[in-house]
Chain A
Amino acid sequence: MFSYTFHWNQAFKALPQMLEGALVTLQIAILSMAIGLAVALALTLFRMSGNRILSGFATAWVEIARNTPALFQIYMAHFGLGNFGIHLSPYTALLVGIAFNNAGYLAENFRGALKAIPETQTRAGRSLGMTSLQAFRYIVLPQMLRVAFLPATNQMVWAILMTSLGVTVGMNTDLAGITQELNARSFRTFEFFALAAVIYYLIAKAVTLAARLAATRMFRY
C-alpha cells in the first residue's frame, strides 16, 4: 500500500537555498505591510474627510480589496496592467497586489478602531485650541493604532502567507518560488513542500510572538 520512499536528505540539502527564499518572503511581507499601512492611513483620512470623491475612492478601494481574491489582485497587477503598457516584474506585481490587499483590510481595521474612540475626545482637543489635524495626530491616532495593533498583526501573518501566491505569476526567488523550482528539478514534491510549510509556520509564529512582545512593551500604561 505504501511503496513511496521519502528522500528527506535532498530537501535538507536545499535548506540554505530555501532559507534565502524565506528572507525574500519576509522582505516582501514587510514592504507590502509598510506600504499598506501608509495607504490605509490615507484611505482612513479620505473617508473621514467628508469629501464625496475622496471617500468614494477610499470606499471603492476597501470594498474591491476585501471582496475579490488576493490572487486576482496579483493577476491584475501582473497581467491586467499590461493593457496600459505597464509591465511589472513578478516581484513588483506581487508586492503591488499584496500591498493593495493589505491597504484595504487595514483601512477597515482602522475604521473599526476609530469607532472605539469617543468623539468627545476630538472635541476636547479642538476646544483646547488644536487644529483638527493636530487633534487627529496627537489624540486620535495614538489610540487608534493601539486598538488596531492586534488585527494589524494578523494582517502581517496574512501578508506572509499571501507571498506564496507569487509562484503563480512566475516568481522564483521567494520561498514558494524556490521550493517550486527545486520540485520541478527533482519531483520530490512532498519533501520540499513539507519543509517549506515548516519554514512558513515558524516565520508566522515568530512574527506573532515578536508582535506580542512589542505590544506588551509599547502599550504599557
Chain B
Amino acid sequence: MFDTALTMADLGFLAQGAAMTLAVTVVSVIAGTVLGIVFGVIRNQAGTYWSLPLTFLLDIFRSVPLLIQLVLGNALQSILKLGWAPFTTSCVVLSLYTAAYCTEIVRGGISSVPPTTRRAARSLGLTWWQDMRYIVAPLATRVSLPAWIGLTLGVMKDSALVLWLGLIELLRASQILVTRLQEPLFILLICGAIYFIISFPIARLGGYLERRWSND
C-alpha cells in the first residue's frame, strides 16, 4: 500500500542530525544561561540608567533575525581570522542570542522577589551574596523556570537555522534525504515528528510547572 525508499541507514542519518541539533542546543543554552544570569544580575544591580548600554546591546540580539546574526557571526570570525568551525560559530551566536532572552527572564525573576523580603534578609545580617544565594535564587527560580523552559525550546527550534552555515542538523539532514529520495512530504513529516517528540513533553512540563508554581 505504501512503500518508501527510506532505509534504516537513512533513519540513522536523521538521528545523527537530531543529535547535532541537541548538541548545539545544549551548549548554547548552558552558555547562554550562565551569561544571562550574569547580565540579569548586572542589570538589576546597576539600575535602569547605568545598564542602558547593556540593555541596548542585548536588545539588538532580539531585534535582528537569527539568520542574519549567524551570517554576520560567521563573516566576523573569518574577518578576524579566528578559524572557527561552523559548530563553534553557531554555538557562540546562539549563546549570545539565548543570553539576550535569558537576561530578561532573570531580571524579571529577581524583580519579582519583594524588596521587603530582601531587606529583611539583609537586616538579619546576611551579606549581599548570601541574600542572593539563599533568598533571591530560590524565589526567583520559581518565577523564571517556566519561561526558561520556553526559551530552551525556542532555542532548540531556532537552532534549525544553523543549517545556513553548513552544519548538518536535523532539518538539513532531512533536506539531504529529500534531495536524494524525492519523497519530501514523508521525510519532512518524520523530521517534524522528531522535533515534536522532543519539544512537546518539555513544553507540557513547563506548562505544568507554571500552573503548579503560580502564587494564586
Chain B, 53-67, CB within 8 A of any chain A CB: 60, 63-67
Nearest residue in A to B64 (C-beta to C-beta)? A197
Chain A, 128-143, CB within 8 A of any chain B CB: none
- How many residues of B are counted as interface, with CB atoms below 8 angstroms from the partner's CB atoms? 39
Q: Which of A69, A161, A190, A194 interacts with B65 by CB under 8 Å?
A: A161
Nearest residue in A to B184 (C-beta to C-beta)? A79
Nearest residue in A to B175 (C-beta to C-beta)? A75
Q: Which of B63, B75, B178, B199 interacts with A157 by CB under 8 Å?
A: B63
Q: Does B120 contact A (CB under 8 A)?
A: no
Contact A72–B192 (Cβ < 8 Å): yes
Q: Which residues of B contact A83 (CB under 8 A)?
A: 183-186
Q: Does A219 contact B (CB under 8 A)?
A: no
Contact B72–A194 (Cβ < 8 Å): yes
Contact B158–A69 (Cβ < 8 Å): yes
- Of the listed stretches B76-84, B106-114, B125-133, B135-143, name the one at the interface; the rest are far from the partner chain: B76-84
What total of A-B pairs shows CB separation below 8 Å?
Answer: 110
Nearest residue in A to B71 (C-beta to C-beta)? A193
Q: Does B196 contact A (CB under 8 A)?
A: yes
Contact A68–B196 (Cβ < 8 Å): yes
Nearest residue in A to B21 (C-beta to C-beta)? A69
The complex places the Cα of A162 from the Cα of B199 at a distance, in Å, of 20
Contact A69–B72 (Cβ < 8 Å): no
Contact B188–A205 (Cβ < 8 Å): no
- The proximity string for A residues 7-42 relative to B, scoring 1 for CB distances below 8 Å and 0 otherwise, is 000000000000000000000000000000000000
Contact A71–B160 (Cβ < 8 Å): yes
Q: Does B46 contact A (CB under 8 A)?
A: no
Q: Per DSSP, are chain A's interface residues mostly helix, strand or loop, or mixed?
A: helix
Chain A, 95-140, CB within 8 A of any chain B CB: none
Q: Does B69 contact A (CB under 8 A)?
A: yes
Known: A4-B79, A75-B188, A79-B188. A68 touches B195 (CB 8 A): yes
Q: Does B157 contact A (CB under 8 A)?
A: yes
Nearest residue in A to B178 (C-beta to C-beta)? A79
Q: Does B93 contact A (CB under 8 A)?
A: no
The complex places the Cα of A205 from the Cα of B60 at a distance, in Å, of 10
The complex places the Cα of A165 from the Cα of B66 at a distance, in Å, of 9
Contact A189–B75 (Cβ < 8 Å): yes
B65 to chain A, nearest CB (A): 4
Q: Which residues of B contact A84 (CB under 8 A)?
A: 185
Contact A176–B68 (Cβ < 8 Å): yes
Known: A67-B195, A82-B184, A193-B71. A176 touches B158 (CB 8 A): no
Contact B75–A68 (Cβ < 8 Å): no
Contact A69–B189 (Cβ < 8 Å): no
Q: Does A182 contact B (CB under 8 A)?
A: no
Contact A82–B185 (Cβ < 8 Å): yes
Contact A75–B68 (Cβ < 8 Å): no
- The proximity string for A residues 62-95 relative to B, scoring 1 for CB distances below 8 Å and 0 otherwise, is 0110111111100110011111100000000000
A157 to chain B, nearest CB (A): 7
Known: A68-B157, A168-B164. A197 touches B68 (CB 8 A): yes
Closest 3 CB pairs of A and B: A164-B65, A83-B185, A69-B157
27 pairs of residues in contact across A and B, judged by CB atoms under 8 Å: A2-B79, A63-B196, A67-B200, A67-B203, A68-B157, A68-B192, A68-B195, A71-B171, A72-B191, A72-B195, A75-B171, A79-B178, A79-B185, A81-B185, A83-B186, A84-B185, A161-B63, A164-B68, A165-B67, A168-B164, A189-B75, A190-B72, A194-B72, A197-B60, A197-B64, A200-B63, A200-B68
Beyond A80-B188, A161-B66, 18 additional contacts (C-beta under 8 Å) are A2-B79, A3-B81, A4-B79, A68-B157, A68-B196, A68-B199, A71-B163, A71-B171, A72-B160, A72-B191, A79-B178, A80-B185, A190-B76, A193-B68, A197-B60, A197-B64, A200-B65, A201-B64
